[in-house]
């Protein structure tokens, strides 16, 4: 089996690659080649695996060549993120819409249909004046995105569905929740502070929270997110249930509950490193995303949210021990 991960050098792409390589197979087929396409080279430890190949450069420029390689499966994770799309309209169109369309056309021209998992986002939901966001988002809730990023994702969902309807690909869309806690440096996502307010204090650094403490968020840990992507790939067409996008599992927490979990593992000194500085733009964008989800489709696929945010923090500590610079409570 030959697989492609776009955005393969990013945090989620690299973690997905590590998980797939450790498994050794996907949907019952051994993985012989894993191609990671991104603007930058993937981590060295991934390239050390003989099964891994890198394709470096703008994805839009690579799509035609990638399509000619004849992939069995594709995870399309590459994307410009929320705040980037608001700040640079052309960047968002090029990175999200133009690139996804080019990738789909390249796969359409391939000798056989590839199975594709497209990573969409909870940002496809919002509160429209004509259709307010319900208190709980369910499988039949109509997306009404209120940002360029959310609109791009929703348009791409429909493209994946139509290319699947025509038989050009076997496409499945998974809507990702905000992933926390992400390691490394902040990215351009409006939700980036939801990792920073945990990651930075654990490293002994200050962090800023731009929203109120009672703001509720739908989150998923990195491990839960990767598990969801793989299960969506491996699901039969019948089990996935049509061509409509699937909302991955969400843990609903408030910012205050996140800080309470931080205090439990690192004490009040760590929480004191987080200051609240209101940012109306970020608060408006993040506050417009849904925080509560229910899904029978998730249940049918055996998908479950994280148990609580404390378990999410402990997962980060286990995965990133070198990033901790403060004493921990045991």
pTM above 0.85, yes or no: yes
Return the pLDDT at 154: 98
Return the pLDDT at 36: 98
Tell me if residue 316 is catalytic.
no
Return the pLDDT at 117: 98
The span from the CA of 286 to the CA of 225, in Å, is: 19
The span from the CA of 125 to the CA of 147, in Å, is: 9
**Is-cis flag, bond preceding 46, omega within 30?**
no
The span from the CA of 303 to the CA of 251, in Å, is: 12
- For 196, other C-beta atoms within 10 Å of its C-beta total 21
Strand partners for 116: 74, 171
Distance of CA 98 to the CA centre of its chain: 19
Let me know the angle formed at the C-alpha of 215 by 83 and 294, rounded to the nearest 5 degrees. 90
**Structural domain spans, the chain:** 2-176+221-247, 190-217+250-292+305-323
Return the pLDDT at 188: 66
The model's pLDDT over 13-37, given as tens digits with 9 standing for 90+, comes to 999 999 999 999 999 999 999 999 9
DSSP letter for each residue of 149-214 = HHHHHHHHHHHHHHHHHTTS-EEEEEEEPEE-S--SS--S-GGGHHHHHHHHHHTT--EEE-S-TT
Nearest in space to 85 (alpha carbons), one of 191, 202, 196:
191
CATH fold of the domain at 2-176+221-247: Rossmann fold (3.40.50)
Nearest in space to 258 (alpha carbons), one of 212, 305, 206:
212
Task: Give me the residues of the chain with pLDDT under 70, please.
Answer: 188, 330
Residue length of the chain: 330
Specify the pairing of strand 274-276 against strand 207-209. parallel
H helix count then E strand count, the chain? 15, 14
Nearest in space to 218 (alpha carbons), one of 278, 275, 258:
258
**Which among 149, 163, 233, 316 is annotated as catalytic?**
149
Structure tokens at 294: 């229910």
The span from the CA of 19 to the CA of 181, in Å, is: 18
The span from the CA of 40 to the CA of 36, in Å, is: 10
Strand partners for 120: 175
Which one is the CATH code of 190-217+250-292+305-323: 3.40.50.2300, 3.90.25.10, 3.30.1330.10, 3.40.50.10470?
3.90.25.10
């Amino acid at each position: 089996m030959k697989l492609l991960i776009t955005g393969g050098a990013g945090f989620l792409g690299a973690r997905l690659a590590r998980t797939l390589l450790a498994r050794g197979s996907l949907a019952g087929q051994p993985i012989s080649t894993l191609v990671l396409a991104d603007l930058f080279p993937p981590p060295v430890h991934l390239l050390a695996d003989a099964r891994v190949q890198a394709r470096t450069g703008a994805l839009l420029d690579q799509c035609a060549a990638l399509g000619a390689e004849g992939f069995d499966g594709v995870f399309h994770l590459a994307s410009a993120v929320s705040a980037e799309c608001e700040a640079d309209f052309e960047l968002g169109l090029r990175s999200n819409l133009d690139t996804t369309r080019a990738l789909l056309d390249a796969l359409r021209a391939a000798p056989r249909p590839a199975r594709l998992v497209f990573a969409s986002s909870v940002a496809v939901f919002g509160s429209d004046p004509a259709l307010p966001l319900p208190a709980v988002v369910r499988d039949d809730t109509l997306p009404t995105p209120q940002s360029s990023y959310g609109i791009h994702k929703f348009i791409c969902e429909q493209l994946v569905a139509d290319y699947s309807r025509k038989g050009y690909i076997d496409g499945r869309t998974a809507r990702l929740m905000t992933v926390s806690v992400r390691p490394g440096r902040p990215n351009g996502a409006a939700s980036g502070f939801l990792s920073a307010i945990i990651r930075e204090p654990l490293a002994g650094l200050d962090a800023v929270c731009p929203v109120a403490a009672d703001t509720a968020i739908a989150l998923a840990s990195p491990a839960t997110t990767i598990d969801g992507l793989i299960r969506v790939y491996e699901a039969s067409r019948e089990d996935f249930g049509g061509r409509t996008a699937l909302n991955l599992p969400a843990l609903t927490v408030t910012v205050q509950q996140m800080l309470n979990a931080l205090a439990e593992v690192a004490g009040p000194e760590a929480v004191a490193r987080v200051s609240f500085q209101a940012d109306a733009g970020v608060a408006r964008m993040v506050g417009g995303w849904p925080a509560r989800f229910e899904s029978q489709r998730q249940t049918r696929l055996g998908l479950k949210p994280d148990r609580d945010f404390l378990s999410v923090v402990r997962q980060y500590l286990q995965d990133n021990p070198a990033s901790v610079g403060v004493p921990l409570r045991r």
